[in-house]
C-alpha cells in the first residue's frame, strides 16, 4: 500500500473519538462525532463535485479541478472506511481479489449469490 495512504489512514484512525480525537480541534474528529450519516453525506457531496469537475474538464480541458475533487473524495472515503473499521489495505485486497475477473461476470456472480441467499428457506415458525 502507498506510504501516503498508510500514513493518512493512521492519522484518520487517531482522530476517532475512542482514540482521543477532539471534535473541537479536528475536522475528522468532528465528522466522526456526527456519525455515519454526516460522513456519508460528505462523500455524496464530494462525489458530485468530482463528477461536475470532470464534466467541466471535458469542456475546458482543465484537469486540475478533477484531481482536487478526487483527492477530497478519496479523503472522505478513507474516513468512511475507518468509521466501519476498514482500511485502505482492505480495499486493495478486494481489488486484488477481483483482478483478472470480468466485471460483467463479477457483477453477475454477486447477483447470483444474493438471489440464492433470498431463496434459502428461513427458520420454520
Residue 125 pLDDT exceeds 60: no
pLDDT per position as a tens digit, 33-91: 999 999 999 999 999 999 999 999 999 999 999 999 999 999 999 999 999 999 999 99
Concatenating the DSSP letter of every residue in 53-79 gives HHHHHHHH---HHHHHHHHHHHHHHHH
pTM score, whole prediction: 0.80
Distance, in Å, from the CA atom of 98 to the CA atom of 86, rounded to the nearest integer, reads 18
For residue 53, what is its C-alpha cell? 469537475
Number of other CB atoms surrounding residue 110 within 10 Å = 10
Residue 107 pLDDT exceeds 80: no
Contact partners, residue 9, CB within 8 Å, separation at least 6: 78, 81, 82, 87, 88
Amino acid at each position: 500500500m502507498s506510504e501516503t495512504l498508510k500514513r493518512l489512514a493512521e492519522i484518520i484512525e487517531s482522530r476517532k473519538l475512542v482514540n482521543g480525537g477532539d471534535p473541537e480541534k479536528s475536522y475528522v474528529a468532528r465528522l466522526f462525532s456526527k456519525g455515519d450519516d454526516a460522513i456519508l453525506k460528505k462523500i455524496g457531496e464530494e462525489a458530485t463535485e468530482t463528477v461536475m469537475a470532470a464534466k467541466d474538464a471535458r469542456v475546458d480541458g482543465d484537469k486540475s479541478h478533477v484531481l482536487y475533487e478526487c483527492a477530497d473524495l478519496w479523503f472522505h472515503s478513507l474516513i468512511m472506511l475507518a468509521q466501519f473499521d476498514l482500511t485502505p489495505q482492505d480495499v486493495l485486497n478486494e481489488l486484488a481479489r477481483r483482478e483478472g475477473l470480468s466485471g460483467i461476470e463479477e457483477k453477475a456472480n454477486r447477483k447470483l449469490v444474493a438471489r440464492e441467499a433470498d431463496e434459502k428457506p428461513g427458520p420454520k415458525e
